[in-house]
Structure 1
Amino acid sequence: MTSVFAKLDVDGDGKTNDASRLTTSLPAWRERTGPEAYRITREARPAYDHPIADQWHAIGTSIYQFLDSQGVKWTSIDPVAFAEEGEVEPFCPLLMWIGVHPKSLIYDAAVAAAGGFPEIEVAFRESVINRSVATGPKLLPFNPLRDPVPELLKPFTPTLGLSIAPLKTPYYEGTGALYLRVGNTDKRTVLLTAAHVARPGLQQCCHGHAESIDVWNDNIARLSEQSAEREEDEEMAEKRQEYVDLVNKARKKIEKINKLHNYVTKFWATPKHRIIAHQFTHDWALIELYEEKISWDSFKGNKVYVGENLSSSDYGKIMLPRPEDQAGYKYPRDGLLQAYGVVKEKEIRSPQYLDGHKCLLVVKNGMATGTTVGRVNGLYSFTRVYTEHGIQQTSVEVAVLPYDRRRGAFSASGDSGAIVFERGGGIVGMLTGGSGTTEATDTTYLTPYWWLEEQIKKVLPVSYLYDDV
């Protein structure tokens, strides 16, 4: 019972590009007929309580191992359902939506790869994994009730859309963080954010040092020219020596970085040497705050602004779609949703909320896309990132699918570190990236907070979410 879309689903919408779909023993997806028939638009939906749920980790691992054996340069494996646009109930309860690097898989090879899963419906699409990245005065207070343009002010405030510009480098720009308190008596405040937002990679470090060396060498040459024209004074000699010392220091730094790089590529190039566990992305960092940078009298704590892009009416209709849910509903005051509690793994796999069908609806506010809503998938995704040095990074992720095609992607490049909440303020996870062929991803990936909390407790046993404000 294998099916494969005849051409790669480059639109990421679950549609075939030429209506020819290989299928054996499976009912065909409905297509309109006639000379003026328009195509049926389909949307990805979460899969919950599926019979394979308990064995999915082992099944997913065997799927990507088979793809590796076939030489398929896969990037993501998302076990999702599909529904026709506007419909809640899926007509396809489970499909392996497999992303591959653009222009890396021809049709015949896709058919051969799909043949390795005789009991699973498979669709290939072109897709890449993107880690969603993009000092001075105090951060500004944030009061949506009073501020004339809160959506523009938000990035400069400590609200959970906080923009992070790490290490004063131009390479990364991320958004979002969660505030934690550390200690019993002498309490400190730290931020939780994505690690790739908080530190640059090896290549960026080398590139930056090399650029600096070029500038310093140019300064040394100019000072030498001036010394040749007239007698070098003490000040000029000290300045030239200062640049010489900077060049020597930078070269030593590059040597150390290259030494580490050589070690990694030499001893970690073989996949079996790199696998330490099949688990969630270790892409998190804690940053201790300067207390004097925060205006504590106006500090909002762990609250996310959900008013951007959504009216209070729209937010209520989307997040609480059933009349019985809306009976006692109150929109968060000033559009600020308070973080409250943690959504556990059981609730992610089998949510109790309904939108006509079982669903875990979520919201986030990111630097790139502002407030967006989406649907959390009940089965974890597998992702694969290929570095320029041939190193493969495979991880497990929680996937968030767009709410619908009209509202667009849940995230885009620049949203990393954003905290994702369910409607009551329960923390679902931290955004680390997404997949798709454009900057606006069709699938967003999270590291679940229940797991992050376990890892943080290993480093900081006495730590907890910042008090409600």
Structure 2
Amino acid sequence: MSDSVPPPPFIVTTSVSKAYYKGLPSEPPLIATTKPNPIDAPTGPEAYTVLKELRYLGEHPLATLWDNGLAGELSSSLASMDVKWSSLDLLHIPNVGEPSGPAIVWIGVEPGGLSFEDGSKVAIDCHQLIGTHGVRDYCVEIRESRVSREARNRFLNPVLQSNATFSARDPYTATLGIPIAPKNRPFVQGTGGLFLSAGGDDKSIYLITARHVVLPIDDANQEYIRKNESRRREEVLVLGTSAFDNKFDAITHEISCQLSGMTGARERTLLFQGRDDPESVKECLEAEKQYKAAEEGIRELDALQKEVKIHWEGIENRVIGELTWAPPIILSTKPDEYTLDLAVIKLKPGTLDALNYRGNTINIGNKIPRIDFMNKMYLHYTSGSSFKYPPDGLVKLAGQVPESALFDLPMRDVNKEPCLIVFKNGAATGTTTGRANRVSSYTRRYFAGKYQESREWPVIATDKRSVAFSSRGDSGSCVADAYARVGGIITGGGGATDTSDVTYVTPISFIMKVLQKNKIFKYAHLNPQLT
């Protein structure tokens, strides 16, 4: 198609709107597209079964123009049209299994903010604006999308994956992905992202998260710093009220599964008992082993559940620290700046010790089978990833993703396009993998009495078979790359539901610059040691 002249307008219908993004994590409603024939008319019960997927933008002229003024021009144009936009992303959105197709300038608008007819006019105007830069092979699409802030005693020792309590005890361990909540708002859920040392003479260990996890997002947005004992403590819990109940019930479910395994093993033993053919003898022996393993698993899970009830059920027992510092939330599109949504929690003495502390380590768990996880770390045989699957499932992070790697991507995906594979363990969605986009996204939110825009480092799902990278409750999670380096923390996501199509991350390079400008954290680093 020619992209310097907008194609004939296509007015979206309700049925097309609902079906167009089928396959994406939140399946957001389509409002407008500049594709002349974006979807075939329905012809029967199998209509609209084509699935779409998100792919990051590879080499494309728009990638160069985007952060050098084009995104700003688009935001100004949308503002002049009084469009309540929420996000600007630059991606490919092809049908699953098909070539990537044109670049998509993906505009998110607040739900109910644009009719199909008005949306079509806005999309065409934006298309024309982009065309003035001499760019080809692109389309503009508008969808509904909220940009949400995804906020929803001694830690236990981690155990090996062979232990029946491996998954059930993860929320109570000190590996990254700690589910946290403010004590005075225990209904909120967020994630503890990274352990931090202030450096110098300060031997305390701190935990980084997003500010909106521990302080109300509608507060005065002033710097929080507790300099004296007269100020009220903003204490932080492991697991809010509903999160604790859910995780406690999860242990009960694990026990039920083990009981079911015992029943099945007993029935198999009775079925083959007394037979002397080799296959029956083998089956009987295997069933007896499984019975004993399930029996031992129940003992371990029962002991864990009792320990959790005694030592973790009381809300005071779940206080792990208090808020030390939180700068105001700042939304910025200035060069080399991103959304600043940061809080630093000082952990209570005694919560960490030599047995439970592993430093900045992500427990990737057993949610994703080893072979599948490794396939996602090496999407193409030429990828330069150095990732090695840890036998204990604990990935020790070392170093930081350099700012240059946000744009000069060192890996390749299945289409041989440059990419950077990332992963995280969040309180809401657990372990997930994703692909960082080399082109910034931009968000627009009503904040502090006015609409403000900000630059984001965007992450999308790894491939069409992968779940969404994040959801509400994952804010604060540490995002690491396939080289086991710290990439940043999640501060939000864009989608039509609580599940995010695009996850927004603040890079660690920017976070460390902000921290080291504060005199308390002038010598801050990400390798805190126990004393």
Establish whether TM, by shorter chain, passes 0.5. yes
Q: Contact (CA 8 Å) 1:178, 1:193: kept in 2 or not?
A: yes
Q: 1:148 to 1:204 in 2, by over 3 A?
A: farther
- The 2-side partners of 1:275 and 1:171 are apart by 29
Q: Contact (CA 8 Å) 2:333, 2:455: kept in 1 or not?
A: no
> How far has the Cα of 1:202 moved from its partner?
4.3
- The 1-side partners of 2:401 and 2:31 are apart by 40
Q: 1:384 to 1:378 in 2, by over 3 A?
A: same
Q: Contact (CA 8 Å) 1:6, 1:17: kept in 2 or not?
A: no
Aligned positions of 1:296-307 closer than 5 A:
296-307=354-365
Count residues in correspondence. Answer: 395
- The 2-side partners of 1:328 and 1:345 are apart by 19
> How far has the Cα of 1:21 moved from its partner?
5.8
The yes-or-no answer on 1:446 pairing with 2:505 is yes
- The 1-side partners of 2:387 and 2:502 are apart by 29
Q: Contact (CA 8 Å) 2:88, 2:105: kept in 1 or not?
A: yes
> How far has the Cα of 1:383 moved from its partner?
0.7
- The 2-side partners of 1:101 and 1:305 are apart by 36
- The 1-side partners of 2:52 and 2:81 are apart by 29
SS of the equivalent of 1:85 reads coil
Please, which moves more after superposition, 33-42 or 410-419?
Answer: 33-42
Which residue type is aligned with residue 165 of structure 2? V
The yes-or-no answer on 1:376 pairing with 2:436 is yes
> How far has the Cα of 1:381 moved from its partner?
0.7
Q: 1:33 to 1:333 in 2, by over 3 A?
A: same
> How far has the Cα of 1:151 moved from its partner?
2.7
SS of the equivalent of 2:171 reads helix
> How far has the Cα of 1:401 moved from its partner?
0.9
Q: 1:18 to 1:188 in 2, by over 3 A?
A: closer
In the alignment, which residue of structure 2 is the partner of 1:385? Answer: 445
* Aligned equivalent of 2:453, options 394, 399, 403: 394
Deviation string for 1:60-101 (max 9, x for gaps)?
1110111111111111111111233145x5122x11111111
CA RMSD of aligned residues (A): 3.3
Q: 1:180 to 1:390 in 2, by over 3 A?
A: closer
Aligned positions of 1:89-238 closer than 5 A:
89-92=99-102, 94-117=103-126, 118=128, 119=131, 121-134=139-152, 137-145=153-161, 147-202=163-218
Aligned positions of 1:229-308 closer than 5 A:
277=334, 279-308=337-366
- The 2-side partners of 1:443 and 1:6 are apart by 23
Which residue type is aligned with residue 51 of structure 2? T
Q: 1:276 to 1:344 in 2, by over 3 A?
A: closer
- The 2-side partners of 1:20 and 1:202 are apart by 32
- The 2-side partners of 1:451 and 1:18 are apart by 34
Q: 1:17 to 1:306 in 2, by over 3 A?
A: closer
- The 2-side partners of 1:169 and 1:37 are apart by 47
SS of the equivalent of 1:286 reads strand
Q: Contact (CA 8 Å) 2:31, 2:115: kept in 1 or not?
A: no
Normalising by the residue count of structure 2, what TM-score does the alignment of the two structures yield?
0.67
In the alignment, which residue of structure 2 is the partner of 1:217? Answer: none
Q: Contact (CA 8 Å) 2:32, 2:119: kept in 1 or not?
A: no
Which residue type is aligned with residue 116 of structure 2? Y
Q: Contact (CA 8 Å) 1:194, 1:283: kept in 2 or not?
A: yes
Please, which moves more after superposition, 59-68 or 5-14?
Answer: 5-14
Identity between Structure 1 and Structure 2 (%):
30
> How far has the Cα of 1:37 moved from its partner?
6.5
Which residue type is aligned with residue 163 of structure 1? P
In the alignment, which residue of structure 2 is the partner of 1:423? Answer: 482
* Aligned equivalent of 1:44, options 38, 54, 60: 54
Q: Contact (CA 8 Å) 1:48, 1:349: kept in 2 or not?
A: no
Which residue type is aligned with residue 349 of structure 2? E
In the alignment, which residue of structure 2 is the partner of 1:261? Answer: none
Q: Contact (CA 8 Å) 1:7, 1:16: kept in 2 or not?
A: no
Q: Contact (CA 8 Å) 2:18, 2:30: kept in 1 or not?
A: no
- The 2-side partners of 1:392 and 1:186 are apart by 39
Normalising by the residue count of structure 1, what TM-score does the alignment of the two structures yield?
0.75
> How far has the Cα of 1:180 moved from its partner?
1.5
The yes-or-no answer on 1:353 pairing with 2:411 is yes
SS of the equivalent of 1:400 reads strand
Q: 1:422 to 1:109 in 2, by over 3 A?
A: same
Which residue type is aligned with residue 461 of structure 1? K
The yes-or-no answer on 1:436 pairing with 2:495 is yes
Consecutive unaligned residues of structure 1, counting only runs of 5 or more, are 206-273
SS of the equivalent of 1:165 reads strand
Please, which moves more after superposition, 167-176 or 123-132?
Answer: 167-176
> How far has the Cα of 1:148 moved from its partner?
1.9
Consecutive unaligned residues of structure 2, counting only runs of 5 or more, are 132-137, 222-330
Q: 1:377 to 1:49 in 2, by over 3 A?
A: same
> How far has the Cα of 1:313 moved from its partner?
1.2
In the alignment, which residue of structure 2 is the partner of 1:239? Answer: none
> How far has the Cα of 1:347 moved from its partner?
1.6
Q: Contact (CA 8 Å) 1:6, 1:22: kept in 2 or not?
A: no
